[in-house]
Structure 1
Amino acid sequence: MSTLINRLDLNLLRVFDAVMEERSVLRAGQRICVSQSAVSHALSRLREMIGDDLFVRTTTGMQPTARALQMAPLIREAWKSIECAIELPKFDPCSSTRRFTVAVSDFVTTVVVPDLLGLLKQEAPQVDLALRSDNILDLIEQLDFGHIDVAVGSFSEIPDRFRSRPLFSCDDVLVAHRLRRLGRITHDTLATLTMATVSTHGGGGGDGFVSAHGLGRRSEMFDRMALERAFRGSKRKPRLALSLPHFLALPALLEDSELVAIVPRPLAARLARVHPLSMHELPYETAAMDVAVLWSERSFGDAAQDWLRGMLTQATASLRPATVGTESPTLCPPPASLRRIAADA
């Protein structure tokens, strides 16, 4: 790097650009909010550094020399580049062709993505969405490297370099084929049933979560502990005959067998709309499953990422309870077990 560049004060270029535009020391000072004497002093310093008069005072104003005319377009472009580098980036969803990558389970795909796609169609018709399984082992690494923009799921703990925002909470219900006509489910009825459940991420510990690289993720997609408490000491218990790695096959399995299934309430409601399934309340209370969006701290200040998280919040509005007396939905509180939850700045 030349000695001249090392000595250069960027404010001198700002003054040069203003005088070139205004052709007046007075107006240039007004434009950049400095005094007329400060502009004159800056020009004197720049003339000494460059070795050229740069501007000559005439009856029609400050006229640039040949050297100044040569410098002007280059300095203007350089100044614009500096401004772009230090200003917050802007994001226009209407014209953007960006492709966002989101890690999700089939549960989230079913209950969230349809509404998300509807929003994208309205607000960002050229934005593309790539969905990846949240079951990948290197999810943390993928988020760290920016290969995945956000992950949506149920987390029990997150590393300090990540942030999370709650989206919605839900409890468990029972689903069965409509022809079974189970009616109201009691403990005795439940004890006679053969069930299917879903466990992701390779199973889980006693609390239904697995942890890898500091990220705790929900593994069992139903409240097993609540079920076990409900039948503690009972001679007869429901049989958990089938454990699946995803929800995809459940509708077909429930149609062709005596199976029933315990699933999250929003998923049951979606499945019942398009399949001959009925939804039943369980005869015991289940803990809420908290679903949140997770992202890396490295994306702070990325306007596109902020917008994406906002879209996810809007897309899950119908899954959150409405505040009494208001029209806007309220965010559910964050999971109690999370060590660190932070909303967007």
Structure 2
Amino acid sequence: MSGINRLELKQLRLLSALLVQKNVSKVALQMGLTQQAVSEQLKKMRDIFDDPLFIRSSYGVIPTVKAEGLAAPIEQILSQVEALLEQDEFDVSQVDQVFTISTSDYAMLVILPELLSHIALLAPKLKIIVREFESDNVESLMASGEVDLALTFPEFIPQNILFETLFTEHHVCVCASSSRLANKTLSLKQLALLPQIIVSPSRANLKGSHDAWFSKRGLKRNIVMSLPSFSAVLACVGATDRVAFIPARLLPDAQVSVIHLEENPPSFDVIQAWHQRSQRDPLLKWMLGKIREAIEAH
């Protein structure tokens, strides 16, 4: 076995202390060891370095030329190890890097404006990339570091991704502000017959998140259009006779009015999620806290 594989950090600390104190009993007391334990470690180091290292004298021990030559490199190694373990004070105002957020346009509209105002004020050097949420690739994107944080819904997050709930949201049904249905109350049966727009950001299809809810009541929705974003839904509903479910926090919006229902769809959670590889990253911790503040201020 080579010397590097036998050398331990505690041995370097002991050797450094002996070079300073030049006394085995003082070093033993300083390190909380017995003199015998110090002697045993010194014996191992003599074998590793192929040198006596210290010669006994009436005053303690005298370092050999080899030992004295080791003093500076050992101090450098120990200093580097200490620096590795020290947690530098995090100063977000000096952070000059890129942070990538993956999200739907819903979070872009509801969360990001307030968040970005915090960032502009407190972290002026921080650069933000916002990319569309990809439910099929979220785990690999986070594991590779391409995405630092996701703002999404629990059902789109794999089990090994960490997350916390930001708030609970609910959908409301909307129609054009000029529609005769504005502020009216409808049954689900009446609503199911109306032409509806759904949002499907990841998959281009005509399947909506509330289909199962309607189906349990023996109803099938009349879905006629699928769009990739809620902002597009608001514009299209406002310009047509279509209706749609949108998260309540997107209202009020001058383009649409609410349709009241005899029964409302179930609420859902909005979360922020991150990979365990970043769990201790101070920038991530700061960002998570600022997003919570942005939600509270909304």
TM-score, normalised via structure 2 length: 0.75
1:255-277 per-residue CA deviation (whole Å, 9 max, x = no partner) reads 444444320111234xx3xx554
In 2, the alpha carbon distance for the partners of 1:28 and 1:122 equals 52
156-165 or 167-176: bigger deviation:
156-165
1:9-63 per-residue CA deviation (whole Å, 9 max, x = no partner) reads 331101123344566656655554445664455445434543153588797x977
Identity of aligned residues (%): 24
The alpha carbon displacement at 1:131 in A equals: 1.6
Match of 1:165 in 2: 164
In 2, the alpha carbon distance for the partners of 1:21 and 1:317 equals 57
In 2, the alpha carbon distance for the partners of 1:122 and 1:25 equals 57
1:123-168 per-residue CA deviation (whole Å, 9 max, x = no partner) reads 5443322222113643332223232223221232754433332222
Q: Runs of 5+ in structure 1 lacking a partner? A: 209-219, 320-345
> Does the CA contact (< 8 Å) of 1:111 and 1:267 recur in 2?
yes
Match of 1:223 in 2: 210
Larger Rg: 2
In 2, the alpha carbon distance for the partners of 1:181 and 1:53 equals 95
Count of residue pairs brought into register by the alignment: 294
Match of 2:198 in 1: 197
Match of 1:114 in 2: 113
Q: Structure 1 residues 252, 130: closer, same or farther in 2, change over 3 A?
A: same
1:246 and 2:247 correspond = no
TM-score, normalised via structure 1 length: 0.66
Equivalences for residues 1-345 of structure 1 within 5 A: 3-20=2-19, 28-29=27-28, 31-35=30-34, 38-39=37-38, 42-43=41-42, 45-47=44-46, 49-50=48-49, 51-53=51-53, 66-83=65-82, 87=85, 92-94=90-92, 95-135=94-134, 137-156=136-155, 158-178=157-177, 184-187=183-186, 194-202=195-203, 220=208, 223-226=210-213, 232=219, 240-269=223-252, 272=253, 275=254, 277-279=256-258, 281-317=260-296
Q: Structure 1 residues 282, 32: closer, same or farther in 2, change over 3 A?
A: farther
Q: Runs of 5+ in structure 2 lacking a partner? A: none
> Does the CA contact (< 8 Å) of 1:93 and 1:127 recur in 2?
no
The alpha carbon displacement at 1:171 in A equals: 0.8
Greater fraction helix:
2
1:213-268 per-residue CA deviation (whole Å, 9 max, x = no partner) reads xxxxxxx3x53444566794xxxx98544321212323433444444432011123
The alpha carbon displacement at 1:309 in A equals: 3.6
> Does the CA contact (< 8 Å) of 2:162 and 2:276 recur in 1?
yes
1:183-239 per-residue CA deviation (whole Å, 9 max, x = no partner) reads 53211785796543312221579xx6xxxxxxxxxxx3x53444566794xxxx985
In 1, the alpha carbon distance for the partners of 2:102 and 2:34 equals 55
In 2, the alpha carbon distance for the partners of 1:313 and 1:113 equals 11
